[in-house]
Structure 1
Amino acid sequence: MSAFRDRFNRLRGSVGAEAEGAVPAAVEIHTPEQILDGAPAGEAPEAAAPPTSDHAVPEQTALPEWEPYGVRLVRHEAGEFLLKETRFPITHRHGIHAFTEWTAAAPSLAAFHGDELVIGPDPCSADEMQENPPVPHDVLFLDLETTGLGVGAGNVPFMLGISYFEGNEYVVRQSLIRHPAEERAMLADLKDRLPQFRYLVTYNGRTFDWPLVQSRFILNGFGSRVWEPLHLDFLHPSRTIWRNTLVSCKLSRVEEERLGVFRQDDLPGSEAPGRYFAYLADGNPEPLADVFRHNEIDMLSLAALAIRFGHLLAGHIGQEVPVPTEPEELVRTGLWLEKMGAVASAEPLLHSVRGLDHAPPSVWNRLAERDKRLGLWEEAVSLWRKSAAAAEQTGIPSTEAHIELSMYFEHRTKEISFALAYARAALELALQHPLSGRANSKRRKEIDALRHRIDRLVRKAAKS
């Protein structure tokens, strides 16, 4: 596979070396047979001129070898590339959500802000989102299939998937390049479509998909300011809510556990580059059918996940979205909603957490930390006591609640005897579990800190 990748990179010619805003020089086009046999390329075509402001509608032509897969050749003014466009009716259901729910869910996504919202250089963009919330037709979903990892010049998006709601349909457009010389045309087509959207939705697109697209725009001579969307990356709220509930926060896991989507015979994303390099070698499009399907499911799931978060922020919990049953997810969802400003939606969930009889210590600690920050000391102490009791009963080596209670009684109520009792209980709990592995250094520091605290409290108690 590395040999194919090296040949692919050599095929990029001088496309990636152009300065920002310049028209790329001509590049050599190799056929799949030439890649396989190492034959020399023919004469290089003339470089396409940069698109003008008045774009003609790209012409589409059927290709016999691609027709069984619904893929057509697009002739853009900047060159050629392959395209598969699939339209799903608005009544289409992907897992537990139907796309008809998007109209009600989209406006609530305006609650995203801070770390959950990536904005351009204009700091007023967050306020703009509140004043002009998303509407069903100005949100673009994006997912790439690339030749490798990272956002460097050597990583090329060979398939560019975008999707959006148009009329009564959800449109999935998947562009594919047959060789590096077609990348510019694929990006030019994307550039033509971006101005009609204000919002971008991705999954891990903050650090991967969108930076890579931006770098490819620059390398292909389109500049660095092609489009500056309000960017919603759903990986981050997914981790916030489901970090300790799901085995992982990969999109495929979130699909199964929370969206009711179960992929059948799906191609792992890590195998997509290999399928593409195989296509470059022999020109047979059949292996890429699975890549198209994998990317299509990603695009459908992005829309379903956007609906899910929209319902959460709109307060549709218990109606369009089931109430979380696991304590960890219950408290995390409530705290995330509160952070997003959806206080009315968060309060019933946090109230439910307070009413639980049994929960892991981490649940009580997380909510107590919130109460402490708000100055709700009575509520925080009540939760810390629940957490400390749960840790002692289950033997879980969680000393956070004991330490918080020790500090509370030492510094706020000046009840040194209580502070000393909780410090000693914390040390006893910590010593019940032998030190092992990489945690040795951190655990030893915690134990040493507890012993130091106990010594100080003993001296205080003696003085009093």
Structure 2
Amino acid sequence: MDISDKLSFYKSSSGNETHQPSAVSSSLKTLADHFNGKIVYPHAPYLKIVREESLGDSLQDAVTLKLLSRNEINEPLALDGILFFDLETTGLAGGAGTYAFLLGFGRIAGNRIIVEQYFLPDYGREYHLFEQLNLQFNEFSCLVSYNGKSYDYPLLRSRFLLNRQKFKLEDIFHVDLLHIARRLWKDSLPSCDLKSIETEILGVNREGDIPGAYIPQAYFNFIRTGIVHEVIRIVNHNYTDITSLARMLLYFSQIENNPLTAVHHGIQARLAKLAYEAEDYTLLQKLAGNIGPDSPAIPEVKKMLSLFCKRSRNWPEALSLWNELVNSASHRFFALEELAKYYEHIEADYKEAIKYTSRALSIIRALEEIQYDANTFFYKESFQYRYQRLVQKSA
């Protein structure tokens, strides 16, 4: 469409004028043939592609994510009410000139995921697509994305508003799986981007995939030349993004329902932290028993267990854990401080409290001769103040 055609199209969108359909480009027809898609609205054509695949033999009716979401999602999410979405855009800079040229949406029916993709071969094709999408959005109660809260969702909302359309996804609860992925693997994976999660956790290996950074330029090349090869790769890239979202959500639900069976990349320690935050002492104990004795996470898990015991006044167990942690280089000052607190405030045994305080100060002095550590300096002030107070109390 040249500028006069586009102006004519927008002028007639209110229905005051009629015009003849513009010719559909041969490149768009080629894409339609390749994907067995449908060209919609010939006045300003876009391509609709529908594909589907199996997600397994049997799926539950709903997924549960209460622990992994830190109680943000308290109720089960019905699978048939979930809309997965991912966009491919003309850039990451944002602004009025950035738009989504490929919109992918997925829904689960039975044990299959059905993916609908909408490809816009040029600027100015959004209005009638958005009208149709708003009709479909009414069917869903939950939106699922990956980093969508930070980029895809705000961009899509702005495009709806620029086209003077109501954005009905605003009324739908939004789950961003990136936040859960970071809670589980930010300490153990080099990156929590979608491709890393696919490779390391889901076992998805993309073949012939186009890197995300190349996608905007590949689209501009298509507009300029009409060559479809890179667009085919982009459509397949987006399709895999959507199916991986569904598989990831199901995997997270499996972890939630059976946390003791999760073994990937130190996940037990991360789950233990979530159990501690949720005040689920029973689960924390079970996870602690599941972590190998040589795991670097053991001291931190014992610390969390000891604080639970302290809160419930289970002093014998708390004392046992603190005495074990005294031998941990990373947690010895925490343990010595808790032991000093216990003997000062619970037993009123100031001499015993002084013993643990003095031990901590001796370790600090020895470390200062070797190296400077800001953390050690913080503990030094705390233990010195505690020592002075204990001496006064015991006098």
Q: TM-score range by the shorter chain?
A: 0.7 to 0.9
The alignment status of 1:324 with 2:280, answered yes or no, reads no
Distance 2:14 2:280 in 1: 45
The alignment status of 1:348 with 2:286, answered yes or no, reads yes
Q: 1:223 to 1:310 in 2, by over 3 A?
A: same
TM superposition shift of 1:66: 1.5
For residue 333 of structure 1, what is the amino acid of its counterpart? L
1:81 equivalent among 43, 46, 49: 46
TM superposition shift of 1:142: 0.8
1:352-411 deviations in Å (ceiling 9; x for gaps): 34x8465343343344455555655554444444344232xxxx5985444444444444
1:141-166 deviations in Å (ceiling 9; x for gaps): 01111222255434311211111113
- The range that moved more, 156-165 or 256-265, is 256-265
The answer for the alignment partner of 1:306 in structure 2 is 249
For residues 373-452 of structure 1, the aligned pairs below 5 Å read 378-391=316-329, 399-414=333-348, 415-424=352-361, 427=364, 431=368, 434=371, 443-444=373-374, 446-452=375-381
The answer for the alignment partner of 2:153 in structure 1 is 210
SS of equivalent residue, structure 2 residue 78? coil
The alignment status of 1:333 with 2:298, answered yes or no, reads no
Distance 2:235 2:287 in 1: 40
Q: 1:71 to 1:147 in 2, by over 3 A?
A: farther
The answer for the alignment partner of 2:388 in structure 1 is 459
TM superposition shift of 1:175: 1.2
2:164 equivalent among 204, 207, 221: 221
- The range that moved more, 184-193 or 266-275, is 184-193
**Highest relative contact order (Cα 8 Å, sep 6+), 1 or 2?**
1
1:65 equivalent among 26, 30, 43: 30
TM superposition shift of 1:139: 0.8
TM superposition shift of 1:252: 1.5
1:63-113 deviations in Å (ceiling 9; x for gaps): 54224531635324995312222121xxx3xxxxx4334325x24247776
- The range that moved more, 165-174 or 364-373, is 364-373
Q: 1:235 to 1:411 in 2, by over 3 A?
A: farther
Q: 1:234 to 1:416 in 2, by over 3 A?
A: same
The answer for the alignment partner of 2:184 in structure 1 is 241
The answer for the alignment partner of 1:108 in structure 2 is 64
SS of equivalent residue, structure 1 residue 218? helix
The alignment status of 1:194 with 2:137, answered yes or no, reads yes
Contact 1:399–1:429 (Cα < 8 Å) also in 2: no
Distance 2:68 2:379 in 1: 40
SS of equivalent residue, structure 2 residue 117? strand
Aligned positions, number: 379
For residues 163-178 of structure 1, the aligned pairs below 5 Å read 163-167=106-110, 169-178=112-121
For residues 20-169 of structure 1, the aligned pairs below 5 Å read 29-30=1-2, 44-47=7-10, 49=13, 63-67=28-32, 69-70=34-35, 72-76=37-41, 79-88=44-53, 92=54, 98-103=55-60, 106-109=62-65, 116-117=72-73, 130=75, 133-149=76-92, 152-167=95-110, 169=112
Distance 1:372 1:77 in 2: 70
SS of equivalent residue, structure 1 residue 389? coil
For residue 456 of structure 1, what is the amino acid of its counterpart? Y
Q: Looking at CA atoms only, which structure, 1 or 2, has the larger radius of gyration?
A: 2
Q: 1:61 to 1:284 in 2, by over 3 A?
A: closer
Contact 2:32–2:38 (Cα < 8 Å) also in 1: no
TM superposition shift of 1:276: 1.2
For residue 291 of structure 1, what is the amino acid of its counterpart? I
Distance 1:187 1:280 in 2: 21
Q: Note the residue ranges of structure 1 that are not aligned, 5 or more in a row.
A: 1-28, 31-39, 52-59, 93-97, 118-125, 436-442
The normalised TM-score by structure 2 is 0.80
C-alpha RMSD of matched pairs (Å) = 3.6
For residue 80 of structure 1, what is the amino acid of its counterpart? P
Distance 2:40 2:85 in 1: 22
Question: Among the aligned pairs, what percent are the same residue?
Answer: 25
For residue 328 of structure 2, what is the amino acid of its counterpart? A
Distance 1:193 1:137 in 2: 13
SS of equivalent residue, structure 1 residue 390? coil
Contact 1:73–1:83 (Cα < 8 Å) also in 2: yes
For residue 221 of structure 1, what is the amino acid of its counterpart? R
Contact 1:402–1:426 (Cα < 8 Å) also in 2: no
Q: Note the residue ranges of structure 2 that are not aligned, 5 or more in a row.
A: 16-23
Contact 1:403–1:426 (Cα < 8 Å) also in 2: no
Distance 1:236 1:80 in 2: 37
Distance 1:111 1:50 in 2: 49
Q: 1:165 to 1:177 in 2, by over 3 A?
A: same
For residue 417 of structure 1, what is the amino acid of its counterpart? I
The normalised TM-score by structure 1 is 0.70
The answer for the alignment partner of 1:24 in structure 2 is none
Distance 2:303 2:356 in 1: 18
